[in-house]
Every structure is written in C-alpha cells, then in structure tokens.
Structure 1
Amino acid sequence: MFGGVFTPCTLTILGVIMFLRFGQVVGQSGILNAILIVLAAKTITTLTTLSLSAIATNTRVKGGGAYYLISRSLGVEFGGAIGVLFFLAQAISVALYIIGFTEAFAETFPSLATHFVAIASLVNLLTFVCVYIGAGWTIRVQYLILAILAMALASFYAGAIADFNPDYFAANLSSHFVDGENSFTMFALFFPAVTGIMAGANMSGDLANPSKSIPKGTLLAIAVTAIIYLSQAFLLGCARPSEELIRNNMVIRDIAVWPIAITAGVFAATLSSALGSMMGAPRILQAFARDEIFKSIRFFGTGSGLTNEPRRATVLTFAIAQVCIVLGDLNAIAPIITMFFMITYGLLNLATFYEAVTKNPSYRPTFRYSHWITSLLGTVGCLGVMFLINWVWATVSIGFIALLHWYIRTREIESRWGDLQSGVVFERARKALLRLEEQSYHSKNWRPVIMALSGTGWTRPHIPIYGHWLTSGQGILTLAQVVSGDIEDHAERRERYEKTLRNFIAKEELQAFPVVTCNEFLSDGIEALIQCHGIGGLRPNSVLMGWPRDDSRADAFGANIRLIARMNRSVLAMRFLAHRQEDAEADDANDLDAHWEIPPGTIDVWWRGMENGALMLLLAHLLHQNQGWRDNAIRLIRVVENEEAQQEVLKHLLELRTASRISVVPKVIVSQQTASEIIRETSAKAAIVLLGFQTPEEGEELELYQRMEQLAGDLPRVLFVDSAGGMALES
C-alpha cells in the first residue's frame, strides 16, 4: 500500500504546480478563495477515488489500472478507447515531466542550457533504465525522492513560519486578480496538480492485494496532500504580499530556509512524476494488448521475468517520450493530455454509477463508502472541470473518444469478459415492462407480437421471413420450434435445437427471439408455448404457422388452430406453393436468397367485414411498411352481386381508408361467379393475398381445408387470417 500506491500518488500530486504555480493561485485568488479551490479540486478527486475503490473491491484487479476497471464495467468499446487514450497520455506525460525537470535544471545551471535536448534525453534514458530493471527497483528510487520532497516541504514550512506577517494575512484574505483572470481560471491552473490519483491503480498488476491497497493508499495520499496544499495556501498568504506571489514563480524557494532544498524538491517532483508515468504507461499497454482488442499490438502483451515486467511496452513508452522530447515544446498538447486524464476519471465514475444504479447482483464491493449519487457527482464534476479548463480541447477530446468508440464498435469486437451493458439494458427493460403492465391495454396500442412456428427455420424459411416482415420495427417476433416425441430423448438436446434457431436468426439478420419446447405431442407443445412464453404485455397475440400441404394433415391442423383460438390468439396461416415442391424444399436449407426476393404485384386484401378484415388490413399495412414492399400497392377488394350495391360499397371502402389512414386502392367487383373463380382471376398477379377464415368446429376440419384450398387455387402466396381481435383501425 505504501510503496505501490501512497508513494506514487503523493509524488505525482505534489508536483511542479505546487512549487512553481501555487503561489500565483494564492496571490490572485486570496487565501480564502485558494482554500475553496483546493477543497473543490479535492472533492472531485475524492469522489473519483470512492468510485475507484468501489470497483477495485468488487472485482479481482489485474494489470492495467483504470483501463482494466473501465473495460470490465463499460465494455470493450469504452475500454478500448480508454486504453488508447490513457496509454498515450501517460507516455507523453513522461516527456512533459522530463522537459519540466530540464527547464528547472537549466535555470539552476545556466551554462548547460544550450544542451537542453541532450540533458532531457539522458534523463529519459535513466528513467527508462530504472523502470526497465523492474517496479521493485523503481519503488525504492521513489522512496529517496519522497525523502527529498519531505525535506523541501520542511524547509518551506520553517521559512514561512519565520516570515509570518499579520499585515500580509489581512491583505491576502481577499482576491487580487489581474486582467483576464478569475476564480475559474485559477481553478483551471491548479486542478492538474491533483490528477495523480491513478498512479497507484496503474500499478495494480504489481500489488499483492490491490483491492485493499488501492482504496487505502489513494485516499491516504489525497488526505495528506490536501493538508499540505491547505496549509501552504495559508502560509504563502501570510509570508509574502500578493504582488510577489503573482510575479515570482520561485517564491517558495525564496521563502524556504534552505533554497537548495526547494531546487532539489522541484527536481524530485518532476523526476518522480516521470517515473510514475514511465511505470504506469507500459502496464496499461500490456493489459490492453492482452485483451486483443487490436490484434496488431499483441506483441506488447508479453511479460518478462517472474514479476511479468512489461519490458516491450516500456521500450515503446521510452520511444514515444523521446520523440516528444526531440520535438521540443509540448505546451500545445498539454491541455489535451489533461483532458484524457479527466475523461478517464469521468468514465470511471460513470462505470461505478451504472454498476450501482442497475442493482447488478454481481456488484458487491467490500468498500462501503461509495454510492450512486457520489459517482454521478464525480462524473458531472469531471465533465465540468474539462470545459472549465478549456472548452475547445474538452470538445476535441470527447469527439476523439467518441470516434474511437465508434471504430471499435463497427469492428464488432466481442469481449471475453462480462460488462454492465447487459445489466443496463436489463434494468431499462424491467422498468419498461412494469410500466407497460401498469397501463391498461388499449386497441390503439396494439402491436404484432407474433410467435412463428418455424421449425428449425431452415426447413420452412418463408415462415420466419414473413414473420420478420410483419413485425420489423413494429412488433416482436419469436421463432418457435416444438420437438415432439419421447421427452427423455429430446430434452437434453433442447439447447442444441435452440442454438440452431439462434444461428438461423443470426445468419438471416432477423429481429427475433428463439424458443424451443419438447413435448410428447405437438398440440401440447403449442399449448405450452402460448400459455408460458412471453411476459406481461409482450405475450404473443398472434401465431404464424404453415398451411397443411395435403388433406391428410387437415384434422391435426384444425385441432391446433382451434386450440390457439380458444386461448384468444389470432391465427396466421401461410400457404406457400413453392414450399410444396420437393426440389424447392431441398434448396431451402442451402440458399435462402430466393425467399428474400420481394415478389412483384399488389398486396390484395379480400374484405368481408371487420371480423377478420381489420387484422388483415393492418397486416397488409405492416408488410407495406418494409422498404422492399413500398412499391407493392395495397388493394382492398370486395365482391357484390349487383351494380346497385357497387357505389355504396365503394363509398364504404373509401370511408374505411380515411378512418384507418392506410393507403389502399379500393376495388369493388360486380360478378356472379363463384368466390374461388373471382379470387383466382383478380389476384392472379398479386404478390400476396390475404383471406379470412373461421376456426372450424370439431369434425369440420377437412371441410375448412378443402374450402380454403378451393378459394386459393394456384395462387402462389396466400396468408389466411383468423383474428382474435384486440385492434381497431380507427384508433
């Protein structure tokens, strides 16, 4: 805890800002405002640490720190984006800290200022060697740096107490902002000083017990550094006038009893931050590479030695830092690096918020001081600070991470770990179902919830495909298979049958759910599915099935639809002549493209009243809503025996079109021919024909089958409809 978390966090927080810029914050803001700035900044980092502690104690933390925690919560897209950003931010930060060290070194030894790049490169090399040897060696070096830092602080406190002046204290209580500055700009100047809370978490793979070390070490570092900054704000305001605090960046050195200690402290602060980033960045890259989100970087996932040191990733970090050092001034990209850190902290808070608010049973952190409210406040705080520091870079950074998220998502990379996205969806669905259940069912809200008895899908593809067209974007489709026979033989294979259906859904890109039941008899299976499948308002209201191929199956078919009608479900029976041909059936399992082809012609609805007509017309409309069916006009057809009734019926159909708001072409046929002859002649070139029927009484199954077969004749595609009601065209 002390060496792996507290020390790197403390050394990163007590950095260059404290030595070179905090005097300006106090001079311009005044003592009281400076204290408020420190407290506000510490509040945000404390909230983030509470979130960090909750996640760290909820899962086994491996290498990668914030990347590992975020990816395991928010998923591969956010995790991958954070992996890229956080590694680059840490790697470039090495160069920033080394350049800061070199600038202080050049001011102390002006004769060496002409060798700036050489000195910075040498320091980068020494930092790299320390880290390459191993984390244990680096931690021992940090102990020395921590001792130097403590000596520098002691020198400052001794000098500040000796120089205490009540007049300065009274004058510096209020603010003395120069032109263009205010409390917000001073907050933006100070805040990067406290963004070192992840230094310990980045070492998660090297900690003996990260779930205990990370919360204790990070919170202790925040508390200690808060005391230091608050006491400095008070003492600086009591030791020097505001003018000197504002203009003199080395005012802390001037106050100190031993100025050389402050110089050593500046060196120690910059070197410790460089070491912390040089240790953290490779471990992020190593964890990221091992997850194989981008297979091209798997090379960097390999560890070395008994401690699994990320030496390959360390070499890359050194190279990136060296390139940045050679390029020179990094002030232009420094703001966006801070933004990357803030995005990481914000997403960490967001991950904890979602874990808590979705009430995921797997979210059981042993750290008890985090709540979804604190996580939400941390998220909002991080976002607010980003725009407060620099709204332009904040917008660019958010846009960049959104682009990375989109790129990873479009590559459809599947994570090998669980995340909370399914939990978020589950919680939304749960609340929506409860809300739907509380509301009264009304015909205006009727939607097709179709259970298609599709078999495996491959053998009768026209059933699931037309089911998809009838529900796409409007309702819910379930592909159901009833496996009949000896239950003991089939029950253990039920998962395999369901997997076959799932594969069919995935291959054909259907918006559907699979369900399989094993029963001794087909009718028992259908009854079980209708009664038990679905939940609340999402229970099936229609059953889509195939029409019998011959009259030998008429009795069983009639019994099944009688069962469905008795359970108040609509029956949709698809008669597809091409499926009756044995050669076509053999091709179905291999090539389904032909079934997806939209046939030319009209969508013919044969109207005989509202009993079945309302559902038939609504189904025709739903079919027509599909992009491929937009050119197939809906014809609403009715037959009358004499011309006197033609105008009256046509008027009725036009009124029906207006009331239903469905674009149809009404057609009234005057004929003395039989119904079967009229239907065959009129709809010979139709894409699909919708005909209503009545569920047969017991003993009338064959008669129904033969009558409907005669009506359909040689029409290639007919949908027979027996409506159970529940919808209204005028709604």
Structure 2
Amino acid sequence: MAQSRESSSGRFGTFGGVFTPCTLTILGVIMFLRFGQVVGNAGVLATLGIVALSKAITTMTAFSVSAIATNTRVKGGGAYFMISRSLGVESGGSIGVVFFLAQAISVAMYVIGFTEAFTATFPAFAPHRESVASTINLLVFLCVFIGAGWTIKLQYGILAILLLSIASFAVGAIGSFDPSTLSENLGTGFLEGQSFFTMFALFFPAATGIMAGANMSGDLRDPAKSIPRGTLASIAFTGLVYAGMALLLGGSEPRITLQTDNMVVREVAAFGPLITAGIFAATLSSAIGSMMGAPRILQALARDRIFRRLNPFAQGSGATNEPRRAVVATFVIAELGILVGDLDLIAPIITMFFMVTYGYLNLATFQESYTRNPSYRPTFKWTHWTIALLGAVSCALVMLLIAPLWALAAVALMAMLHRYIGRRQIRSTWGDVRSGAAFERARKELQRLEEESYHPKNWRPSILAFSGGAGARVELAVFGHWLCAGRGILSLAQVITGDVENLVERRLAQEKALRRFIQEEGLEAFPAVVVSPDRNRGIEALAQCHGLGAFRPNTILVGWSSDPEQAEERLETLRTIRNLGYSILMLSTKNTEDSDPREVPDGTIDVWWRGKENGPLMVMLAHLLVQNEEWRDHKIRLLRVVSSESGVEESERHLRELLGTARIRAEAKAIVSEDPLGAIRETSRNAAIVMMGFRLPEHGENASYLTESTNHMLHKLGTVFLVHSAGNVALDA
C-alpha cells in the first residue's frame, strides 16, 4: 500500500521547492515571445503600469497565501487546499476544478510557446507544428511521470540557462539602447482591436506562477516558512526583471518591430542562440512546473471525495505517492489545448481562471481576518483584511475590464459547480470560516438588537415548544415549525427528570438525538434539553434561561393535558410562565397511532374573537400559518358569537375593520347563539385548526373547572390552539 504524502513530505526547501518553480514559471513564454508585443502596443510607461498592476494583484494574493499557509498545516493541493479549508467544500471544490484546468491548460500554453520558438529557429519543422508540440508535451509528461524529485533537480540547470539568457539580452539591449527610440516608445500605440486591458490579459499569465510553490506544498519540508519567503522573493525578483526588460526593449527597437516580431528578444540579445536556449528552457520549465502542480491539485481534490468520478485520481504511486494517474489526465487536457494551437486565445482563458482563483484566495483571507476567529493566528504579519479585500475586488474588476463575457462565463461555471456540490450536501471533515463568519454577523446583530427599543411592528414568533424527546410529541414540533413560518425562531425543549450529576451523559445523548430529529424532519429549530428534579420546575427553568438577548422566547407551546389530578400543579407552572411575560399556546389534537401529525388537515382556520386580550395574537398566528406552502390554500375565518340578530351587522363590520387594519385576508362572520360553546363546536367541527383565547384562573379560583369545561368543549373539535397572549402583538403595527 502506498504511503501517504505526509509521510514522504519534507523533500524540498524554500529555494528548490518554491523560489525556483515560481521564478521559472513567471519568466517563461510570455517574457520571450509576447513581452515585446506588450511594450510595442502599450508603450513603456503603460507596460510598467501593467507590470505594476499584475505584481500588485499577485503580491496581495501572495500575502493572503502566506497568511493561510502560516495559519494552518498546508498539505497537498495548494490553492485548493487553502480555499476549501477556509471557505468550505463548495467553494474549495469549485476552485479545485477551475484551478486544475488552469494549470493543465497552462501546460498547453507553454508547449505552444516552445513550439513557436522552435519552428522559428528551425523553419523546416514549421509545417509540423502540431507534431512538434505533441512530442514536447509527451516529453514533459514523461519527465513528471518519473517523479517530482528528479524534475526539481532538472530545474536548477534550467534556471541557470534562463539567467544567462536574460544577461545576454541585457548586454545586447544596453549596446543598442537609443534614448530617442525610448522617447518614441514611451506612449501608447495600440494596433486595431488592442487596448490596455487586452495587453494586460496577454501579459498577466506571466505573473501567475506565484502558485507554483504552493502547489508543491505537500512536498515541502516547512510550507509555513517556505511558501511566504519563496513566493515573495520570486515576485520581487521577476518584477525587477520585467521592469528592466520593458525599458531596454523600448529603447532598443522601433515600435513596429516590437509589435510584429515575436522573436524580438532574440534579435536584441548579444548572443542569439543563448536566447533560443533560454526560450526552450523557460517554456519547458514552465510546462514542467504546471505539469507537476496540476496533478497534485487533482489528487487533493479526489482525496476529499467531492466528485465521485475523480476518486480514482486520489491514488498515488510509489513510496513518494506520486499522482501519476492525475499526471496522465493533465497530459490529455494539455494535448486538447495544443490542438487549439493559438497562444493569444489560450492566454486570456488562463487569465480568467487564475483571476477567479486569486480572488477566492483573497476572499478566504478576508473572511478569516474580518470575522476575528480565534483560530486565525497566522505567523505571517504583513497582511490585513483590507489588503485581502482589495485583492479580491481588484481581481473581480480586472476580470470585467479585460473581457466581460469571459468573466461572466467564469462566474457562471463557478456558480454551477458551487450549486452542484451544495446539492450533494457533502459534509467536510474539516472546519471552515463560514461558521465563524456567521457567528460574527450574529454577534453584531444581537448587540444592535439589544440596543434598540422593542416595537410591536417587529414582533416575530420565538417559540419554546416542550415537545419532549425526539419523536415524542411530533405534532408540537411540526406545529411550532409551521407557526414560525420561516420568520421566527423555534426551540424544541425536553425536560429530563432526575439528578443532573447522574444524567449528564443522557442529557448530551438526548440533545444529540433531538438535533438529529430536527434535521431528519427538515425543521428550522434548535434543541434545548435540561435536567430537573421535577418536570414543571424544568419548564420554568427553561422559560427563564433559554435564549439570548432579542432571541429569547416570547411564546411557550405545550400540549393540553386533560388530567384533572395535575391541573393545579400545571396551572401554577402556567401562571409562572405568564408572570414572566410569555404568551402561552396549548395544543390539543385528536391524533391516533395511525394518523400522521405531519399531514395537513382539510378545512378552515377558525379564529374565535372575544376581544383584544388574546385576539391579535390568534389572528397573527393564523396569518403565519397560511404563509407555509402546505397551508396556503386554507381559508381563515374570524368568528364571533353574538346573542341576537341585531348584533350581527355591527359585529361583522367591526371584524372586517380589524382585518383591514391588520392587512390580513380572512372571512368575517358573526354567529348568533345563546350557547357560545355549542356554537363553537357546531361551527368549527370540520375546521382544520381552531384558535380560542383562554384566561388563567387566579389563586383561589377553581382550577378543575377550567380543565372540565375545556375538555367538554374540545371533545367535539379536532385540532385546537388555546391561546393566552402576553399583549405584545398589535394588528395595526
């Protein structure tokens, strides 16, 4: 069985594992074959601006990468690993796919660049460009397939050739440097169809090599140390090289030559063959770097099992766990890119993919820093959430300015991948910043709510439903969910009777079971479990202590008990809840063992109005109930019993005025009867829900009378809510 990458890690240091691959990727095909075109079109000053803008974006991104790399143990996968562990599996998986494609297509770009230089040097091979490109792609594949260790050693020699070629160019350019030529080339001179941003899009892939070191994170001895140092050193060094080349090119060749001759760098150099060797070395090294980086991203993505079809690529080979299957996939994608054969077409596509990746990296660092998560403790200190945010915004703006359609296509691809992964509901085994961000937002909003005075206009149901253990009183849980209607907060409460010292483990197990029940039933609710020597004391304790600030319950939901022996004790508990300022809902149903409490019954929602003491709350609850899709076709009836026909017109007019003020659609109807309970039973016998107000007997009043009279009334009805309002709901708010 192959060893894990972690067990074989620690092979490369800062210079070999980060600085060298980053530098070789940055100083590649664009520098030798397209940088003259950039200078010729944009002019020296604008080119320096393009270089500066590119380096600013990559530097801000490097700061973000360094912050993440020094805050967590970075394993294989580079940018994918960093983003997925910060922004979550959806963002990480989306970026993993896009970044892998960007790296794989980059191989094609570098191979095409090599082929272009090769056929310019050996014209006899010009008719066989695709064959040459495919052969080079195969050689790059074989180099990487052998193993990263051998390839890294090869890159030291390539770096030496590259530096000699740059020195050859500098000597030649200085010898032919003409201040008047530089003066003529300072300003812009765009050819038709070109602009600052098309030149930026052409050049920017040259700056994207900053992730070459991070992509090798699983093979570094100390990623937290090597990634920041090696990446930033490479950015600074290559920035100086490009700035110097812009000045030397602008002062050594006329604009038309810069715009039309892709081999202008070789023409300027003191020793042309060394430039040819440099082009070959740079393009090959960049292709090798991308061919090494892309498979490691794919392997890391496959190991997280986000996409089932990628699972075979998780397997490594040999003692060093080389991702050889992923190398083969990268080779195939690069070969498809070679068939396109147009460097100018591929470069902008790669730019978009890298911009998306860099934007996400900056966004991940911004969220980690801004949410002030205690776990965010990077040892890299040259970063701040403002820098990360500026980096993310810069990436988005540049994408839109370069090519709006390509930018929208990239965003659409990301959105589709994000949605696909989200619909699969993959549970990651790592933590991410999203919970920290949600906590920070909730904390700030709670503080703001605490500082503002309450107004009935802002009333929302915050229900504490004593539904018992998971599945014990499903109807209370389901009705609590319906009454909140996605606008309030529901807590499902359970009281375990006994000694808390002896029932700690049971309490934790019951809370876990309740949370699982909530998830399985698709409820928007929170569990609340307490251990108390007595059930009623437990209810009182939860009523007093559950919740935080504005999110404390305002309504208690309990089941109706018809047991007269418990009437006095239960009534005492309800009085305590009332005195604490809570509204009380008591639910009575006729559910049997065969009935499903989740099924919505047919019929109307009848609200029996007896005045403003409990009426406004009942009307509001009925309105919330029909906001649920399952209840949307149910009609609300606002009903009132009058003793004579003479009072019908006035009562119905009054009820209609109440509904008009409340802006709630319902039917207003007055029922004539000398027997109110009989009228309620007769009128609402087929109702889906009946809501009636009730008054709690005070001390000294007959508590059993409430139980007996209510039982008598409920006997002929189906589902009934007995409502006692705390008076904090106003229909005219």
TM-score normalised over the length of structure 1: 0.95
2:681 maps to which residue?
680
1:239 maps to which residue?
252
2: distance between equivalents of 1:670 and 1:167? Answer: 105
Q: CA deviation at 1:505?
A: 1.1
TM-score normalised over the length of structure 2: 0.95
Cα contact 2:202–2:348 (8 A) shared by 1:
no
1:617 maps to which residue?
619
Amino acid at match of 1:695: L
2:389 maps to which residue?
376
Cα contact 1:336–1:397 (8 A) shared by 2:
no
Cα contact 1:676–1:712 (8 A) shared by 2:
no
Q: CA deviation at 1:635?
A: 1.7
Q: CA deviation at 1:328?
A: 4.7
Amino acid at match of 1:466: F
Unaligned runs of 5+ in 2: 1-13
Is 675-684 or 6-15 further displaced after alignment? 675-684
Q: CA deviation at 1:323?
A: 4.2
1: distance between equivalents of 2:666 and 2:128? Answer: 84
2: distance between equivalents of 1:57 and 1:153? Answer: 34
2:208 maps to which residue?
195
Task: Describe how 1:550-569 pairs up with structure 2 within 5 A.
Answer: 550-569=563-582
1: distance between equivalents of 2:231 and 2:678? Answer: 85
Which of the residues 112, 129, 132 maps onto 2:142? 129
Cα contact 1:604–1:636 (8 A) shared by 2:
yes
Question: How far does the alpha carbon of each residue in 1:426-446 deviate from its partner, in whole angstroms, 9 at most, with x for none?
Answer: 122112212211211011111
Cα contact 1:603–1:686 (8 A) shared by 2:
yes
2:640 maps to which residue?
638
2:166 maps to which residue?
153
- Match of 1:257, SS state, is coil
Is 1:605 matched up with 2:618? no
2:64 maps to which residue?
51
Cα contact 2:201–2:347 (8 A) shared by 1:
no
1: distance between equivalents of 2:236 and 2:638? Answer: 77
Cα contact 1:676–1:710 (8 A) shared by 2:
no
1: distance between equivalents of 2:562 and 2:482? Answer: 23
- Match of 2:210, SS state, is coil
Question: How far does the alpha carbon of each residue in 1:241-284 deviate from its partner, in whole angstroms, 9 at most, with x for none?
Answer: 32332232222211111010111111111101110011001111
Cα contact 1:27–1:172 (8 A) shared by 2:
yes
2: distance between equivalents of 1:331 and 1:254? Answer: 22
Which of the residues 175, 182, 190 maps onto 1:169? 182
2:108 maps to which residue?
95
2: distance between equivalents of 1:563 and 1:577? Answer: 28
Task: Describe how 1:199-238 pairs up with structure 2 within 5 A.
Answer: 199-238=212-251
Cα contact 1:201–1:214 (8 A) shared by 2:
yes
Task: Describe how 1:65-80 pairs up with structure 2 within 5 A.
Answer: 65-80=78-93
Q: CA deviation at 1:26?
A: 2.1
Task: Describe how 1:47-446 pairs up with structure 2 within 5 A.
Answer: 47-325=60-338, 328-329=341-342, 332-446=345-459
Cα contact 2:638–2:666 (8 A) shared by 1:
yes
Q: CA deviation at 1:458?
A: 1.4
1:711 maps to which residue?
713
1: distance between equivalents of 2:597 and 2:231? Answer: 62
Amino acid at match of 1:675: P
Q: CA deviation at 1:330?
A: 6.6
Q: CA deviation at 1:575?
A: 1.2
2: distance between equivalents of 1:173 and 1:388? Answer: 23
Cα contact 2:202–2:347 (8 A) shared by 1:
no
Amino acid at match of 2:385: W
Which of the residues 507, 526, 533 maps onto 1:513? 526
Cα contact 1:451–1:542 (8 A) shared by 2:
yes
Which of the residues 11, 17, 29 maps onto 2:30? 17
- Match of 1:655, SS state, is helix
Q: CA deviation at 1:611?
A: 0.6
1: distance between equivalents of 2:436 and 2:720? Answer: 42
Amino acid at match of 2:359: G
Is 140-149 or 596-605 further displaced after alignment? 596-605
2: distance between equivalents of 1:618 and 1:327? Answer: 64
Is 1:534 matched up with 2:536? no
2: distance between equivalents of 1:273 and 1:227? Answer: 19
2: distance between equivalents of 1:455 and 1:164? Answer: 87
Question: How far does the alpha carbon of each residue in 1:620-657 deviate from its partner, in whole angstroms, 9 at most, with x for none?
Answer: 22122222223322222222223333332222222212
Change over 3 Å in CA distance of 1:116–1:187 after alignment to 2: closer
- Match of 2:720, SS state, is strand
- Match of 2:209, SS state, is coil
Cα contact 2:77–2:296 (8 A) shared by 1:
yes
Cα contact 1:679–1:712 (8 A) shared by 2:
no
Q: CA deviation at 1:236?
A: 1.6
Unaligned runs of 5+ in 1: 579-583
Is 396-405 or 243-252 further displaced after alignment? 243-252
Cα contact 2:536–2:570 (8 A) shared by 1:
no
- Match of 2:503, SS state, is helix
Amino acid at match of 1:659: T
Amino acid at match of 1:615: L
2: distance between equivalents of 1:546 and 1:166? Answer: 92
- Match of 1:199, SS state, is helix
Cα contact 1:188–1:385 (8 A) shared by 2:
no
1:463 maps to which residue?
476
Question: How far does the alpha carbon of each residue in 1:573-618 deviate from its partner, in whole angstroms, 9 at most, with x for none?
Answer: 011133xxxxx34x5xxxx7x2122212221122111111111121
Is 200-209 or 111-120 further displaced after alignment? 111-120
Q: CA deviation at 1:384?
A: 2.1
How much identity, in percent, do the aligned residues show? 58
2: distance between equivalents of 1:80 and 1:59? Answer: 19
Cα contact 1:603–1:687 (8 A) shared by 2:
yes
Cα contact 2:202–2:344 (8 A) shared by 1:
no
Over the aligned positions, Cα root-mean-square deviation in angstroms equals: 1.7
Amino acid at match of 1:476: I
Amino acid at match of 2:478: I
2: distance between equivalents of 1:514 and 1:96? Answer: 55
Question: How far does the alpha carbon of each residue in 1:455-503 deviate from its partner, in whole angstroms, 9 at most, with x for none?
Answer: 0141221111111111122211111001112323322211111122112
1:479 maps to which residue?
492
Cα contact 2:80–2:92 (8 A) shared by 1:
yes
1: distance between equivalents of 2:683 and 2:663? Answer: 25
Is 231-240 or 315-324 further displaced after alignment? 315-324
Q: CA deviation at 1:150?
A: 0.7
Amino acid at match of 2:718: P
Amino acid at match of 1:680: R
Is 1:702 matched up with 2:711? no
Cα contact 2:562–2:707 (8 A) shared by 1:
no
Q: CA deviation at 1:357?
A: 0.9
Change over 3 Å in CA distance of 1:726–1:166 after alignment to 2: same
Amino acid at match of 1:689: V
Q: CA deviation at 1:515?
A: 0.7
Change over 3 Å in CA distance of 1:357–1:414 after alignment to 2: same
- Match of 1:715, SS state, is coil
- Match of 2:597, SS state, is helix
1:581 maps to which residue?
none
Cα contact 1:472–1:511 (8 A) shared by 2:
no
Cα contact 1:457–1:464 (8 A) shared by 2:
no
